[in-house]
A = this chain, B = another copy of it.
């Protein structure tokens, strides 16, 4: 790099004061007379001085930077959550260091390590895998506060969490369909989500939603039918295929719930291509509200997640913990509620 510009020493020399005094004038700490402050500021402006944040951070022990680790910023869900995070943390004087894991656990480990070495004041993590949290536990042990969003991780009880009550959200969607008279209700969900299993930390939203779906059915006296559960990869085409398979079974569902909005686009397209009239021949519910859901015909009924708020709450959570500092603060767990927005794709005729 180039000569890197003038340092505080240069400014002090130019102003005819000690470096300590120049630092006080520019940094806004300690006592400086108005006259010398002005002299120092003038000298700094003259030389084009830029504070070296690295040196400052080494002394103060704070970088005024937080890390944000997500699987994919291009996903509108994480993008808006990220916006929520920055909207809260930026006014508080914090910058955001961003990492994309692409869902790869190793990438997440590396990201956490690098951020930790860069001495971020805390991290907000949307975990890649629910099962492995050793690296997060390490970070916390090293004094880096961790806030988990959207996904809980096993083995990190010290972390704050901000999540959405996915079980309840899915159950409400199912209840809505039951109320409309549906009995054979299908679901399109992401691969790797077990239908049964103990209720505990370390499950992904899609899995939790699937449980909410199953529980709601049982509560209505309907035993969940494996044949009505369509498993897909996390992309539109896969969801499209899964939906077609579901609709081609001997006893096809009269309603389908999608556990994600990407999956919903595939399912919607499948219903269109199959020539099924919605909601008469097939009712459809998506997850996560997006602008397009009111442009399609019929409009799509969705479970609307408070995505932006997820970000703001997580940001606030992290700020609180950073401000606390003592490390004695017990972990907080925020669970936000999603809202069912009924539209044409499920309304009764």
Contact B80 A119 (CB under 8 A): no
CA–CA, A1 and B63, complex, Å: 11
Q: Mark A78-95, 1 if CB is under 8 A from B, else 0.
A: 011011001100100001
Q: A5 at interface (Cβ–Cβ under 8 A)?
A: yes
- Is A48 interfacial (CB 8 A cutoff)? yes
Question: Is A143 a contact of B1 with CB atoms below 8 Å?
Answer: yes
| CB-CB contacts below 8 Å: A279-323 with B | 290-292, 294-297, 308
Least CB distance from A298 to B in Å reads: 11
Which residues of B lie under 8 Å from residue A198 when comparing CB positions?
none
Residue contact B97 to A95, C-beta cutoff 8 Å? yes
Known: A73-B73, A95-B97, A296-B297. 17 other contacts (CB 8 A): A1-B62, A1-B121, A3-B143, A48-B138, A54-B118, A54-B119, A55-B58, A65-B118, A68-B98, A74-B82, A74-B308, A83-B100, A86-B99, A265-B292, A265-B295, A272-B295, A295-B295
Q: Decide: B80 and A74 in contact? CB cutoff 8 A.
A: yes
The answer to whether B2 and A327 have CB atoms under 8 Å apart is yes
Verify A87–B61 contact, CB threshold 8 A. Answer: no
Which residues of A are at the interface with B, using a C-beta cutoff of 8 A? 1-5, 48, 50-55, 57-58, 61-63, 65, 68, 72-76, 79-80, 82-83, 86-87, 90, 95-100, 113-119, 121, 138, 141-143, 236, 262, 265, 268-269, 272, 290-292, 294-297, 308, 325, 327
Question: Is the beta-carbon distance between A95 and B73 smaller than 8 angstroms?
Answer: no
B contact residues around A116 at 8 Å (CB): 50
Compute how far the CA of A265 lies from the CA of B292 in the bound complex, rounded to whole angstroms.
Answer: 7
Indicate if the CB atoms of A98 and B74 lie closer than 8 Å: no
Closest to A55 in B: B58
CB-defined contacts of A138 to chain B, threshold 8 Å: 48
Q: How far is the CA of A296 from the CA of B298 in the complex (A)?
A: 10
Report the minimum CB–CB distance from A261 to chain B (whole Å).
9
Partner of A118, one of B53, B79, B90: B53
User: A99 touches which one: B95, B119, B142, B294 (CB < 8 A)?
Assistant: B95
Closest Cβ–Cβ distance, residue A279 to chain B (whole Å): 16
CB contact between A79 and one of B68, B74, B297 (< 8 Å): that residue? B74
Q: Are A97 and B65 in contact (CB under 8 A)?
A: yes
Given that A79-B73, A119-B54 are known contacts, is A100 also in contact with B87, CB under 8 Å in the complex?
yes
Question: Which are the 4 A-B pairs with shortest beta-carbon distances?
Answer: A292-B292, A74-B83, A2-B143, A79-B79
Flag if B292 contacts A295 (CB, 8 Å).
yes
Can you give 11 A-B contacts (C-beta < 8 A)?
A4-B61, A4-B143, A48-B138, A53-B117, A54-B119, A65-B97, A73-B79, A74-B80, A83-B100, A265-B291, A265-B295
